[in-house]
Structure 1
Amino acid sequence: MKLQDALGIPRGITSVIGGGGKTTLLSVLARELACGGATVALTTSTHFLPFEGMPALSGPGEWDATASPIACFASPTKEGKLTVPACGIPALAEAADYVLVEADGSKRLPLKAHADWEPAVPEGSKRCVLVLGGSGFGRPVREAVHRPELFCELAGCEGDADATPELVAAAIAAEAASGRIAPDVVVINQAEDPRVARAARDFAVALRVHGFGASVLAGSIRDAELFACG
């Protein structure tokens, strides 16, 4: 099954939030959509790193979509990262069939707890995908989670706890209950590893116990191979 179909990606703006695998998801999904004849704008509402071989454009006026169906739109920062494009995200939605937005940051860690001001999902987003790096399951929270103190508060655990599937599910359910996040689908990346695949299934069961209704998929984003959990 194509990523577009597995994730239910509609035309318009899709936001990707969470931990490890967001940028890879944007890249793989963009190539898939472009192969289907669509035009795709890659951008961010926070910060991301440049895409290899793809210059950052300031707006649709710089884009020849007939020559390059995929383009990155962003503004450079002094730190070498890219941030929100000068043209704004709504302008991209008028110029491209699909706008894929990295709407969160995780300091390159596999898991993430969100502060009150996060994630930065843009207005008009039609789909929100929450990505979890499966390599974080079972590791100490302080090593695997961006904002570990907040994670422990949400999950109701101590600071020396491991990020078990059950605690990760509890933290996500608490964030959803507070209105901080509202993902349509959760993707557990790196689940080509059998250990991670088992953890993904345990996570999906725990999430249902908390009454969280979003669908859960797991697998390899890089290989565009996902399976339903639960």
Structure 2
Amino acid sequence: MDIVDALDARRGTTCFVGAGGKKTSMATLARRLDRAVVTATVRIPIFDGWVEEVVVTESPRTAIDGASAWPLGVVPAQERPDRYRGYDPETVADLADVDHPILVKADGARMREFKAPSDREPQLPSTASTVVPIASVHVVGEPLTDAIVHRVDEVAAITGLDPGDEIRPQDVAAVLASDRGGLKDAPADAATIPLLNMVDDAALEASARAVAEAIHDRADVPRVVLAEMRADDPLVAVV
């Protein structure tokens, strides 16, 4: 099994939520997929460097049908010099029948490594075939602060931690496996496959495996993927 199959991303619409490597994961998969489409339902930093072309258009289907360079990015507008706007989820849902794997950034994290969603997140298309909630395993053992966590109060509400408390493996699992966290608003027929990223040494792998086991104790997910998405061979383990 490679990272594409581990995340069920070879076909359909794969949506990335959480924190700790959404864009890196999308870039890694886009390079490995045949004729991938990259898009977003929220703001996304400029990503021209890891696709062959970005088309700014209100008609993404037309751009996809006429494309000759892959992977292809489609966005509705460039909002600022450093970021694009995303489509509304319904527009992305309407692309479900195109014969290309679609990779979607479906929430924001302000460059943090762990998060819980706000009331307005995630922005998932109803046709999502796979939802990938992400967290960086680097947060295990760190204090619950906004230096590494986006939406500290929401994480605290799910885990029972107080701000400043040490984040344990079971706390990461609690968020990723929660209907208020990583599972929030996932379509009933979508596969949800949590991804623990930045697993780049043996100690971090041990922490990630502890998180994965705790996720399985809390949620019915087919597997938990451990990865270092910046590596040449990103898949570390499937639990």
Q: Which interval holds the TM-score relative to the shorter structure?
A: 0.7 to 0.9
Does structure 1 residue 130 correspond to structure 2 residue 139?
Answer: no
Stretches (4+) displaced over 6 A:
none
For 2:225 and 2:171, locate their aligned partners in 1 and report how far apart those are by CA, in whole Å.
Answer: 18
Q: Do the aligned partners of residues 164 and 179 (structure 1) sit closer, same or farther apart at CA in structure 2, a change above 3 Å counting?
A: closer
Does structure 1 residue 188 correspond to structure 2 residue 187?
Answer: no
RMSD: 2.6
Q: Once structures 1 and 2 are overlaid, which stretch shifts more, 213-222 or 142-151?
A: 213-222
- Which residue matches 1:221? 229
Offset at residue 23 of structure 1 (A): 0.6
Q: Do the aligned partners of residues 203 and 46 (structure 1) sit closer, same or farther apart at CA in structure 2, a change above 3 Å counting?
A: same
Check whether the contact 1:190–1:220 (CA below 8 A) recurs between aligned residues.
yes
Offset at residue 155 of structure 1 (A): 0.2
Equivalent residue letter for 1:126: S
Extract unaligned runs of 5+ from structure 2: none
Check whether the contact 1:201–1:229 (CA below 8 A) recurs between aligned residues.
no
For 2:3 and 2:135, locate their aligned partners in 1 and report how far apart those are by CA, in whole Å.
Answer: 16
For 2:137 and 2:194, locate their aligned partners in 1 and report how far apart those are by CA, in whole Å.
Answer: 12
Does structure 1 residue 50 correspond to structure 2 residue 46?
Answer: yes
Check whether the contact 1:191–1:219 (CA below 8 A) recurs between aligned residues.
yes
Extract unaligned runs of 5+ from structure 1: none
Check whether the contact 2:170–2:214 (CA below 8 A) recurs between aligned residues.
yes
Check whether the contact 1:104–1:119 (CA below 8 A) recurs between aligned residues.
yes
Q: Do the aligned partners of residues 82 and 120 (structure 1) sit closer, same or farther apart at CA in structure 2, a change above 3 Å counting?
A: same
Check whether the contact 2:13–2:102 (CA below 8 A) recurs between aligned residues.
yes
Check whether the contact 1:43–1:101 (CA below 8 A) recurs between aligned residues.
yes
Q: Do the aligned partners of residues 169 and 76 (structure 1) sit closer, same or farther apart at CA in structure 2, a change above 3 Å counting?
A: same
For 2:168 and 2:226, locate their aligned partners in 1 and report how far apart those are by CA, in whole Å.
Answer: 16
Does structure 1 residue 158 correspond to structure 2 residue 162?
Answer: yes
For 1:151 and 1:218, locate their aligned partners in 2 and report how far apart those are by CA, in whole Å.
Answer: 21
Give secondary structure in 1 for the equivalent of 2:214.
helix
Equivalent residue letter for 1:226: L
For 1:220 and 1:198, locate their aligned partners in 2 and report how far apart those are by CA, in whole Å.
Answer: 14
* Identical-residue share of aligned pairs (%): 25
Offset at residue 146 of structure 1 (A): 0.5
- Which residue, 93, 108, 112 being the options, matches 1:109? 112
- Which residue, 144, 148, 152 being the options, matches 2:152? 148
Does structure 1 residue 204 correspond to structure 2 residue 212?
Answer: yes
Offset at residue 197 of structure 1 (A): 0.9
For 1:220 and 1:178, locate their aligned partners in 2 and report how far apart those are by CA, in whole Å.
Answer: 19
Q: Do the aligned partners of residues 212 and 158 (structure 1) sit closer, same or farther apart at CA in structure 2, a change above 3 Å counting?
A: farther
Give secondary structure in 1 for the equivalent of 2:122.
coil
Give secondary structure in 1 for the equivalent of 2:157.
helix
Give secondary structure in 1 for the equivalent of 2:119.
coil
Equivalent residue letter for 2:223: S
Offset at residue 153 of structure 1 (A): 1.0
For 1:124 and 1:88, locate their aligned partners in 2 and report how far apart those are by CA, in whole Å.
Answer: 11
Matched residues, number: 226
Give secondary structure in 1 for the equivalent of 2:153.
helix
Offset at residue 66 of structure 1 (A): 6.1
Q: Do the aligned partners of residues 56 and 181 (structure 1) sit closer, same or farther apart at CA in structure 2, a change above 3 Å counting?
A: same
Check whether the contact 1:73–1:85 (CA below 8 A) recurs between aligned residues.
no
Offset at residue 91 of structure 1 (A): 5.1
Give secondary structure in 1 for the equivalent of 2:82.
coil
